[in-house]
Chain A
Amino acid sequence: MSDAGASMKVPVVAARDLTKTYQLGEQAVHALRGVSFEIQRGEFVAIMGPSGSGKSTLMNMIGALDVPTSGQLKIDGVDIGTLDRDQLAGLRNHTIGFVFQQFNLLARTSALDNVKLPLTYAMPRPADPDALARIRLEQVGLGARMDHVPSQLSGGQQQRVAIARALVNNPSLILADEPTGALDSQTSLEILNLFKTLNAQGMTVIMVTHELDVASHAKRLLRVRDGQIVEDRPVHGLLEEAAT
């Protein structure tokens, strides 16, 4: 799944002394206060934290939707602080696959067309977008429902379409924001298992959540509180420790 060769050594995400300060009127809000970490290719990382912890700000930055106030964030070796709006859009298009809590599929648009959407913004244009989209839909187990529109699909199926859409440009990482937040527990498990499978195939997955149950499916946990990383540990043994 991932690029072979030298790029294997470049971390997918490399954050150094990241800060983000919002100006709310007179008051400066410090959403991030000096965050440093690295995420290597092939990792499955959960980012956890209560609301207001800076978790969303961090996620937006990893998603190249936002740039740091100071410090440096490299996605796939590219410093996003040096990019303009259009370059950020290009980076999002070919490097990051987004999965949202509310799926964010286009209504009245077939699963296939939804999955193809990122390809319409890709440069250069792929030769056969339909074929790429079909492969991804089959990969997430929706090969038989390509012509269905979102209203004809269950929540779990819609999220699978969204994951196929995230995969279609063969990104360096999947960035999932509360991907199971709108799903029941059984369906949540299916989606998490899908992420695990993708990760086992070599895809880097970063998942933002506030549920320990969900985070426990990852391999590594980053806990964010008050704009700082307060814990960075393997997930192994996490639930057992929480129980005691």
Chain B
Amino acid sequence: MSLLEFLRTAMIALRRNVLRSVLTTLGIIIGVGSVIVMSAIGGGASRQIEQQIASLGTNQLTIFPGSMNVGGRQGGFGSAPPLTEKDLRAIRERVDGVVAVAGNMNNSATLVAGSSNWVTQVQGSSAEIVDVREWPLSSGRFYDAIEAAARRKVVVIGSTVARELFGGADPVGTTIRVNNVPFEIIGVLQSKGQAGGRDQDDVIYVPLQTARSRLMGRVRVPDEVGQIQVRVDDTHDLAEVQADLERVLRERRRVAANAQDNFAVRNFADILATRSATQRTLGLLLASAAAISLIVGGIGIMNIMLVSVTERTREIGLRMAIGARGGDILGQFLTEAVLLCLAGGFIGLTLGVAISVVVGKLLGWPVFISPGIVLLSILASAAVGVVFGYVPARRASQLNPIEALRYE
């Protein structure tokens, strides 16, 4: 018998009892459907996080003074000696693979422009910060190193700040007061969007030297930089550069060989690694839930196929009498089981996609249905059909035709 005939025969058999066929596949429908919904929502969330991380920059290192993972009696963040311009220079000169280095201090600031005011975060940064963060401007320009060294009172504002204070108008060239100090706006940054629940565009940048003298209050040493941000060349291994950088800093900051670092280096790859570990766990959980529901569904299929074989004993006997070989009967019932499972898989897939889209629309969640999971769920349904259809099909194929024909 050809595959086409197997399919035709199976279709006829399944159509004979549509309600039973549908109820039988319910396990598969629910299994596949829930996997699609869960993975669509999970996939949407993880893609969003991925995009956010990409907008933060995956080729960046940030160095903080003091240890962030406090061990024993050691003081908290910032208790160690502050980072200075000398550290910054050492990194620039002695660490391979560093493209750009910027010092950075931040504080909160109240902005006043005309009759509007807005509280935002002020970043006092070296001019190089624009290269470190690879952040293009939507209008105007960023300040340069000469302006920074001259402590010019110029400011580049984020898109959220521009919108809140100036609406749609281009603010370049106007003056705003930052904590009561007048600054000239020379540029507006392009929007980077949300990351980690924070609006990256709700920020203003002023030259580090200007900020240090006018906006940051007390500084512990005259050339203090709050953090150092580094962009690593894409062709260099981030971990290697980080290790190199840590070695230079330990040496410069005279950390004893067996002592803990008195600074901390963070990179987004760490966050990425944590995230992918979480994702793996979630994926494993998802897979086991799917496996259980598919097994339960498969047992349902096996059960109904056994019933079907018993019900159609005479038909099997007849088919054997007129020349069906064992393989023909096996193929017929196996096709029926696989078709049943595939139908369930497709119904589950359709329902899952529909529910995902509706949930995404209603709750405003990002959903992403990966082609891989679609393909996998269909293949898994077919596999369930083969595995759980085999026993009933084999039983049918091994019936004695004489007894099968006499079966009442």
**A29 is an interface residue with CB less than 8 A from chain B:** no
- The 8 A CB mask of A112-127 against B (1 = contact, 0 = none) is 0000011011100100
Residues of B within 8 A of A108 (CB): 12, 16
The answer on a CB contact under 8 Å between A94 and B323 is: yes
A121 CA to B9 CA, complexed, in Å: 13
Q: How far is the CB of B59 from chain A (nearest CB, A)?
A: 64
Residues of B within 8 A of A197 (CB): none
Q: Which of A60, A85, A86, A118 interacts with B322 by CB under 8 Å?
A: A118
Q: Considering residues A60, A94, A120, A165, which has the most beta carbons from chain B within 10 angstroms of its beta carbon?
A: A120
Residues of A within 8 A of B324 (CB): 89, 121
Q: How far is the CB of A182 from chain B (nearest CB, A)?
A: 14
Q: How far is the CB of B97 from chain A (nearest CB, A)?
A: 69
**A82 is an interface residue with CB less than 8 A from chain B:** no
**B93 is an interface residue with CB less than 8 A from chain A:** no
**Contact A100 B320, CB 8 Å, known A85-B326, A120-B1, A121-B328:** no
The answer on a CB contact under 8 Å between A66 and B320 is: no
The answer on a CB contact under 8 Å between A121 and B326 is: no
Q: Assign chain B's interface to a size class.
A: 20 to 34
Residues of B within 8 A of A98 (CB): 321-322
A66 CA to B327 CA, complexed, in Å: 19
**B401 is an interface residue with CB less than 8 A from chain A:** yes
Q: Considering residues B315, B328, B402, which has the most beta carbons from chain A within 10 angstroms of its beta carbon?
A: B402
Residues of A within 8 A of B326 (CB): 85-86, 89
The answer on a CB contact under 8 Å between A90 and B323 is: yes
Residues of A within 8 A of B325 (CB): 85-86, 89-90, 121
**A201 is an interface residue with CB less than 8 A from chain B:** no
The answer on a CB contact under 8 Å between A65 and B12 is: no
**Contact A63 B12, CB 8 Å, known A86-B326, A104-B405, A120-B1:** no
Q: How far is the CB of B187 from chain A (nearest CB, A)?
A: 78
**A157 is an interface residue with CB less than 8 A from chain B:** no
Interface of B is mostly: helix
Report the number of A-B residue pairs with Cβ-Cβ less than 8 Å.
56
**B318 is an interface residue with CB less than 8 A from chain A:** yes
Q: How far is the CB of B342 from chain A (nearest CB, A)?
A: 22
The answer on a CB contact under 8 Å between A121 and B323 is: yes
**A93 is an interface residue with CB less than 8 A from chain B:** yes
**A200 is an interface residue with CB less than 8 A from chain B:** no
What is the interface size of chain A, counting residues whose CB is below 8 A from a CB of the partner? 25
**Contact A63 B321, CB 8 Å, known A100-B405, A106-B315, A120-B1:** yes
Q: Which of A65, A93, A109 interacts with B401 by CB under 8 Å?
A: A65
Q: How far is the CB of A162 from chain B (nearest CB, A)?
A: 10
Residues of A within 8 A of B402 (CB): 60, 65-66
Residues of B within 8 A of A122 (CB): 323
A122 CA to B324 CA, complexed, in Å: 9
**A210 is an interface residue with CB less than 8 A from chain B:** no
The answer on a CB contact under 8 Å between B315 and A92 is: no
**Contact A121 B1, CB 8 Å, known A65-B401, A65-B402, A104-B405:** yes
- For chain A, residues 87 to 111, give those with C-beta under 8 angstroms from any C-beta of chain B: 89-90, 92-94, 98, 100, 104, 106, 108-109
The answer on a CB contact under 8 Å between A92 and B323 is: yes
By beta carbon, the residue of chain A nearest B322 is A118
Residues of B within 8 A of A125 (CB): 2
A100 CA to B402 CA, complexed, in Å: 12
Q: How far is the CB of B14 from chain A (nearest CB, A)?
A: 12
The answer on a CB contact under 8 Å between B322 and A92 is: yes
Contacts from B to A (Cβ < 8 Å): 1-2, 5, 12, 16, 314-315, 317-328, 401-402, 405
CB-CB nearest 3 A-B residue pairs: A93-B323, A121-B323, A118-B322
Question: In the complex, given contacts A65-B402, A106-B315, what are 18 additional A-B residue pairs having Cβ atoms less than 8 angstroms apart?
Answer: A65-B321, A85-B325, A85-B326, A89-B324, A89-B325, A92-B320, A100-B318, A104-B317, A104-B318, A104-B405, A109-B12, A117-B322, A118-B322, A121-B1, A121-B319, A121-B324, A122-B323, A165-B322
Contacts from A to B (Cβ < 8 Å): 60, 63, 65-66, 85-86, 89-90, 92-94, 98, 100, 104, 106, 108-109, 117-118, 120-122, 125, 165, 169
